[in-house]
Amino acid sequence: MKLKSLLVLLIFSFALIVFAGGTLKLALETEPVGLDPTVVTAFASHRILELVYSSLLTYDRDMNLIPDLAESYEVPDPYTLIFKIRKNVRFHDGTPLTIDDVLFTFERIRNPKTGSPILSYFKDLDRIEREGDDKVIFRFGKPVVMSILPVFASANTAILSKKFVESGANLMLKANGTGPFVLKEYVAGDHITLVKNKYYYNPGLPKLDEIKIIFMPEEISRVTALKTGQVDLALINETLSLRSLPETQFTVFRKPVLSYYLLGLNTKRKPLDNPKVRLAISHAVDREKIVKLVAMGEGQVTGPLSPLLKKWAVPLKELPGYKRDVEKARELLKEAGYPNGISFKVMTSRKYNFDRIAQVLKDQLKDAGIDLQIEIVEWGIFIKRWKERDFDSFVSLNSGSIEPDIQLYRTFHTGGSTNVFGYSNPLVDKLLDEGKKETNFEKRREIYAKIQKILAEESPVIFLYSPNKIYVGQKYVKGFEVLSNEKIIFLKETYLEK
Amino acid sequence: MISYIIRRLILAIPTVILVTLFTFIMIHLVPGDVVDLMTGTQNYLTQEQLRELYRSLGLDKPLMIQYFSWIYNLLKMDMGISLRTGEKVLKMILERIPVTFELAVFSITIAVLIGIPLGMLSGVRRGSKVDIIARIFGLAGLSAPTFWVGAILIVLVSRAFPKFKIFGYTPFFENPISNLSSILLPSLTLGLLISSQVMRITRASVVEILAQEFIRVARSKGLPEKMVVWKHVFRNSAIPVLTTAGIQFGYLLGGTVVIENIFSIPGIGRLVFEAVSKRDYPTVLGSVLFITATIVILNIIVDVIYTFVDPRVRLE
Amino acid sequence: MRRFFKNPLNLISLAIFTLILTMGFFPDLFTSYDPYEMNIEEMLAPPSLKHIFGTDQFGRDLFARVVYGLKKSILVAFFSMVIACAIGSAVGITSAYFGGKYDIFVMRIIDAFFSFPPLILALFIVAFFGTGMLKLIMSISIVYTPIFARTVRSFTLPLRDVNYVLAAKSIGRRDASIILFHILPNILPMIMVTFTMNFSTAFLTEATLGFLGFGVPPPEPSLGGLIGEGRNYFLGAPWVMIYPGLVVAMMVFSVNMITDSLQELMNPRK
């Protein structure tokens, strides 16, 4: 048995050497933190999981939800969601996919002992039914189907092989999915090798034979590796690096993302408990300048919903507080009872661009008589204090979503799980609840437009900007695209034109 | 001699245990725990789920019990699993310590090969051109941040030899040549930096000793200059130099994060740093244990070498 | 003394050293720029007549930032070294001199400190004591005391059983005076060299702590912080990191040159 597999391996490697032309070397900055799809939250893990596993839905290049492992889906009413599962799909170990695997996966997600981060999305789920051998029906007790649809495109709902999981395999280290690539090798701290899934159900895909993902935490390493041709594609975090990677020699893949930087305000602490003060801060900030100074223009100003969501976002010029007006800011402060200005602290960390944004904010706010004192703490300490609401204000990055309810509900509803600002507005609560349930698109749009205007006026959070996600590749890398939710699933359509 | 070594080894055990206890306390006192780092600011777990998560990670028990069960498992050669990836801690460490070790050994070797001769030369010929150049070199090494030197090397080498594989690491047994080339630049970076320290200490020692009485005595005895230099100076300056080399080696074992990051070397420096940042308690404890043990053994070796080099030093 | 001033190298070093000190303590004499003033149009401008060191990522004049940041860095590095040196040397000398159980005990504790990856030790210390200049000084001195202890001990060891020490003992001289008058003078130059050697590293430790997010909070400049921040721009705008580093180098250079020369003074060539 051992000899046979050795022989197969030998032939396989030989074949790879002879026919490889399609190996892409990709440099990323963080390695995954565990590979169990149901459980892990780290984006660095999801990036890999989305190539190895499939979920029922996925995104197309325009960020629309389309069926993936499901052949089709329908929403007959806001309480019901029906998926028709594809036939003739195999897991990487050859096991055929059946409806039992789908049911098993969701059972695992809903089992509190598993600790899945998306469990709360299913709290209104009454039951899951099977119909025939290819239909799965989700029945909810509340009309929430439209708002949780994107969850079915997340790596957290990736379909697992019942047989594989029950065999006791450690999902954190081993993967067996139905995705376009197979996890061949994972050397912690160094690299991951993915090879083409020859039985992938989308004909003609993936185009690459192999992807070697190398982990290089330092930007300078990734940039140099690109320049010397040692990697074909790399994630770039510093916009300045683009100066060394001119578009005459490289292809720059950029996409504005849904995540957004924010200045979060603790509405339970003086002087931030007064909405006029908060609006004053909003007026004192020059968001365009921040994008220029911190991101060198690689980003766009955002409101409570990203302007990328053309269907939902209220145009920025219609939002209160979005035009920099230092005089107005001072006036508002006077009205609020602070004619001599105010002073408060901002907690931040040396991650992404947080500390840089804080510096620019400090500089801008002083023009309106607002003294911002910067406190830089270690990331672990930041998280702890964020959770315990031990801050006057903070600068950080929130993830966004194409679905307004997912983006806004838990952050601004009274008692929401990420509402660390202590914000509570009964009108906003009512609107959020309505928006969750409403199924008519026009009505929903109206509701969320109202919410955005109120949030801009009351500013529990100063929304700043959404950065561009940038990948740079050699000229021969084609077919790649990064999505606004930062996913790189289109590696499945990437090819090398040498 | 043997009894001394054994005694030191036995004494080392409480030191190492104390260090792990200290580490354990520290890492639990620092705000933020592993679950905080896992969930970040995108926390969607309910209270119940959180409690279950803590339980499954073994973090619901009182601290002292956690520590003693770690010690108990240690006696069974089980360092537990990483709270983040589920991998066995012992396996991870054993995979990465040799890498950093190799890096440290090569770096110190380069440092010593450059530093000692330069230091001796410059100490003996004080005031000469050689001395001045050496001292400037020494100072350059002291003031340049590791990152600087590494980055400059990367940029220079990538321009001059674009085909040279700068990043990544190949284990020795897989491909010796590739291994040596992958360790070349990183150890050169560190070696250059450390060599300046070695050079300075050597030079200072040499100057000191040359000025002392017994050199005059040796000279007056009519011994040839070379012999004076080599025999007496070398012996007497060896100890501080050895100490410095030892100290540097020890620091390298835990402090190579920056180099490991830039050159993509999967060493233990990176492992420890990440583990602390992510509060991966078992990994932190296991790594610190290993590093401490290595350093302690190293110090014993250095102390023993003292006696060979300088007969005036007696072992207690 | 005269010989000291005759040597051109020493004069240059003294000049540089004095210049840097003056810049650090009287920054407004040297620049009219505000180190905090941001200027979009001049983001990351290379060195020019207008901005001698160029500008940083926010368009702030780099020379101004360096000059205003000198004082903090100098004070932090200096005081932490003084404390570490004093305590460490005391421990090292006594440990080597008295030997025995005391030596073993102390050295084991020192070993324990050494075994900590220094980055981690610093992380813990600062996480506890927090940031701010005083606490920064404390943290750095804790990290460096073991180095002094072990190094100074190694200087003392060979001298312990040397003739004149044994002779002094036999006469009945007290240990304290033997240490002070016989051993200390012999190793003082070496201690000084160690001091200056680590003085520069202290600057860099400040930068490392800056990476971790500790140290002097922005937008206040400090040399270590500048080097740390500049790291991100190394590829496109190397001056942001190089110039502060150069100033550190010159400071270190001049201090060391002067100390070396002083050491020579104490040991004239025979």
Residues A43 and A147 in one domain: yes
Q: How far apart are CA A99 and CA A103, in angstroms?
A: 6
A271: preceding bond cis by omega (within 30 degrees): yes
Q: How would residue B142 be classed by pLDDT, with cut points 50, 70 and 90?
A: low
Residue C153: pLDDT over 90: no
Chains that touch C (3 or more CB pairs under 8 A): A, B
Pick the residue from chain A with its C-alpha nearest to C38. Answer: A363
Pick from B42, B52, B96: CB nearest A189: B96
Q: How would residue A18 be classed by pLDDT, with cut points 50, 70 and 90?
A: very low
Q: How far apart are CA B226 and CA B218, in angstroms?
A: 11
Residues A294 and A417 in one domain: yes
Q: Which pLDDT belongs to residue C269?
A: 47
Q: How would residue A344 be classed by pLDDT, with cut points 50, 70 and 90?
A: very high
Residue C232: pLDDT over 70: yes
Pick from C108, C264, C269: CB nearest B11: C108
A17 part of a folded domain: no
Place of tokens 């308690």: B281
Residue C1: pLDDT over 70: no
The amino acid sitting at A495 is Y
* Mean pLDDT in residue range A402-411: 89
Beta-bridge partner residues of A192: A186, A213
Q: How would residue B223 be classed by pLDDT, with cut points 50, 70 and 90?
A: low
Q: Which pLDDT belongs to residue B213?
A: 58
Structure tokens at B72: 């108990």
Q: How would residue A395 be classed by pLDDT, with cut points 50, 70 and 90?
A: very high
Nearest CA to A254 among A470, A28, A477? Answer: A470
A215 part of a folded domain: no
Residue B234: pLDDT over 80: no
Do residues A200 and A13 make contact, with C-beta atoms less than 8 angstroms apart? no
Residues A276 and A142 in one domain: no
A71 part of a folded domain: yes
**The residue count for chain C:** 270
* Mean pLDDT in residue range B5-15: 84
Cβ-in-10-Å burial (0-12, 13-18, 19+) of B304 comes to: middle
Do residues B291 and B267 make contact, with C-beta atoms less than 8 angstroms apart? no
ipTM of the complex: 0.79
Check CB contact of C236 with chain A, cutoff 8 Å. Answer: yes
Q: Which pLDDT belongs to residue A20?
A: 42
CA angle B276, B279, B282 (to 5 degrees): 90
Q: Which pLDDT belongs to residue A2?
A: 59
Q: Which pLDDT belongs to residue A16?
A: 45
Residue B59: pLDDT over 70: yes
Q: With CB atoms and an 8 Å threshold, state whether C115 touches B288.
A: yes
* Mean pLDDT in residue range A253-279: 93
Pick from B41, B44, B264: CB nearest A214: B264
d(CA B179, nearest CA chain A) in Å? 14
Pick from B40, B163, B264: CB nearest A216: B264
Q: Which pLDDT belongs to residue B199?
A: 85
Q: How would residue A463 be classed by pLDDT, with cut points 50, 70 and 90?
A: very high
First and final CA of chain B: distance in angstroms? 10
d(CA A42, nearest CA chain B) in Å? 7
Residues A164 and A266 in one domain: no
CATH of the domain at A101: 3.90.76.10
The secondary element (H helix, E strand) that includes residue A139 is strand A135-140
Q: How far apart are CA A221 and CA A28, in angstroms?
A: 10
Number of compact structural domains in chain A: 2
Pick the residue from chain C with its C-alpha nearest to B155. Answer: C235
> What is the tens place of the pLDDT at every residue in A87-126?
999 999 999 999 999 999 999 999 888 878 888 889 889 9
d(CA B147, nearest CA chain C) in Å? 8
Q: Which pLDDT belongs to residue B181?
A: 85
**Secondary structure letter of residue B229 according to DSSP:** I
Nearest CA to C219 among C51, C69, C75? Answer: C69
Nearest CA to A241 among C179, C232, B201? Answer: C232
Beta-bridge partner residues of C12: none
Classify A479 as helix, strand or coil: coil
A174 or C5, higher pLDDT? A174
Pick the residue from chain B with its C-alpha nearest to A112. Answer: B49
d(CA C121, nearest CA chain A) in Å? 14
Q: Which pLDDT belongs to residue A19?
A: 41
Q: How would residue B218 be classed by pLDDT, with cut points 50, 70 and 90?
A: low
Give the structural domain span for A264.
260-467
| Residue of B37, B42, B48, B165 to mutate, testing the A interface (most A Cβ within 10 Å of its Cβ) | B42
Give chain B's largest Cα–Cα span: 86
Q: How far apart are CA C252 and CA B61, in angstroms?
A: 51
Q: With CB atoms and an 8 Å threshold, state whether B167 touches A190.
A: no
| Residue of B9, B100, B139, B271 to mutate, testing the C interface (most C Cβ within 10 Å of its Cβ) | B139
Do residues A118 and A151 make contact, with C-beta atoms less than 8 angstroms apart? yes
Q: Which pLDDT belongs to residue A120?
A: 82
Instruction: Tell me the C-alpha to C-alpha distance, in Å, between residue A9 and each of A3, A177, B210, B301.
Output: 10, 20, 66, 46
CA angle C115, C143, C96 (to 5 degrees): 70
Residues A160 and A61 in one domain: yes
A283 part of a folded domain: yes
Q: How far apart are CA A428 and CA A123, in angstroms?
A: 22
* Mean pLDDT in residue range B284-303: 85
Q: Which pLDDT belongs to residue A17?
A: 43
Q: Of A182, A200, A234, which residue sits at a domain end?
A: A182
Q: Which pLDDT belongs to residue B315?
A: 62
Residues A175 and A53 in one domain: yes
- For residue A219, list chain C residues with Cβ-Cβ distance below 8 A: 232, 235
- For residue C44, list chain A residues with Cβ-Cβ distance below 8 A: 240
- Sheet containing A135-140: which strands, arranged edge to edge? A70-77, A80-85, A135-140, A125-131
Nearest CA to B80 among B9, B16, B20? Answer: B20
Check CB contact of A240 with chain B, cutoff 8 Å. Answer: no
Q: Which pLDDT belongs to residue A13?
A: 54
Pick the residue from chain B with its C-alpha nearest to C156. Answer: B240
- For residue C201, list chain B residues with Cβ-Cβ distance below 8 A: 142
Nearest CA to A319 among A307, A332, A337? Answer: A307
User: Which range has the worst mean pLDDT, A414-418, B151-155, B232-236?
Assistant: B232-236
Check CB contact of C118 with chain A, cutoff 8 Å. Answer: no
* Mean pLDDT in residue range B211-225: 66
d(CA A417, nearest CA chain B) in Å? 7
Contacts 24+ apart (CB under 8 A), B69-74: B70/B24, B70/B282, B70/B285, B71/B17, B71/B20, B74/B289
Q: Which pLDDT belongs to residue A430?
A: 94
Q: How would residue C105 be classed by pLDDT, with cut points 50, 70 and 90?
A: confident
The amino acid sitting at A261 is Y
| Cα of A89 vs its chain's centroid, Å | 28
The amino acid sitting at C175 is D
Pick the residue from chain B with its C-alpha nearest to A406. Answer: B44
A6 or A305, higher pLDDT? A305
Place of tokens 């309480």: A79
Q: How far apart are CA C59 and CA C41, in angstroms?
A: 7
CA angle A172, A176, A182 (to 5 degrees): 105
* Mean pLDDT in residue range B284-312: 82
Residue B127: pLDDT over 50: yes
Residue B145: pLDDT over 80: no
The share of chain B scoring above pLDDT 70, in percent, equals 89
Q: With CB atoms and an 8 Å threshold, state whether A349 touches C59.
A: no
Q: Which pLDDT belongs to residue A7?
A: 55
A247 part of a folded domain: no
CATH of the domain at A319: 3.10.105.10
* Mean pLDDT in residue range A2-6: 58
* Mean pLDDT in residue range A392-419: 89
Q: Supply the mean pLDDT for chain B.
A: 81
Q: Which pLDDT belongs to residue A380?
A: 82
Chains that touch B (3 or more CB pairs under 8 A): A, C
Q: How would residue C129 be classed by pLDDT, with cut points 50, 70 and 90?
A: low
The secondary element (H helix, E strand) that includes residue B119 is helix B89-124
**Secondary structure letter of residue B234 according to DSSP:** I
User: Which range has the worst mean pLDDT, A13-22, A81-90, A166-175, C168-177?
Assistant: A13-22
* Mean pLDDT in residue range A408-415: 90
* Mean pLDDT in residue range B142-163: 80
Nearest CA to A22 among A193, A211, A181? Answer: A211
Residue A204: pLDDT over 60: yes
Residues A165 and A312 in one domain: no
Residue A291: pLDDT over 90: yes
pTM, rounded to two decimals: 0.83
Residue C27: pLDDT over 60: yes
Q: How far apart are CA B205 and CA C263, in angstroms?
A: 11
A44 part of a folded domain: yes
Residues A282 and A174 in one domain: no
Pick the residue from chain C with its C-alpha nearest to A359. Answer: C219
A253 part of a folded domain: no
- For residue B200, list chain C residues with Cβ-Cβ distance below 8 A: 193, 197, 256
Residue A482: pLDDT over 80: yes
Residue C18: pLDDT over 70: yes
Chains that touch A (3 or more CB pairs under 8 A): B, C
Residues A294 and A397 in one domain: yes
Give the count of alpha carbons within 13 A of A244, CB side only. 23
Q: How would residue C235 be classed by pLDDT, with cut points 50, 70 and 90?
A: confident
Residues A155 and A274 in one domain: no
A191 part of a folded domain: no
Question: A16-20, A480-484, C44-48: which has the highest mean pLDDT?
Answer: A480-484
Residues A350 and A437 in one domain: yes
Residues A458 and A330 in one domain: yes
C150 or A456, higher pLDDT? A456
The share of chain A scoring above pLDDT 90, in percent, equals 63
> What is the bridge-based pairing of β-strands A260-265 and A393-398?
antiparallel
Classify A57 as helix, strand or coil: strand
- For residue B147, list chain C residues with Cβ-Cβ distance below 8 A: 231
The share of chain A scoring above pLDDT 70, in percent, equals 96
User: Which range has the worst mean pLDDT, A202-216, A371-385, B156-170, C248-262?
Assistant: C248-262
Nearest CA to C120 among B225, B272, A400, A436? Answer: B272
Q: With CB atoms and an 8 Å threshold, state whether C111 touches B139.
A: no
Q: How far apart are CA B39 and CA B47, in angstroms?
A: 13
Classify B151 as helix, strand or coil: helix
Q: Which pLDDT belongs to residue B229?
A: 60
Place of tokens 């021969």: A476
Residue A46: pLDDT over 80: yes
| Cα of A225 vs its chain's centroid, Å | 26
Q: With CB atoms and an 8 Å threshold, state whether B162 touches A229.
A: yes
Beta strands in chain B (DSSP E): none
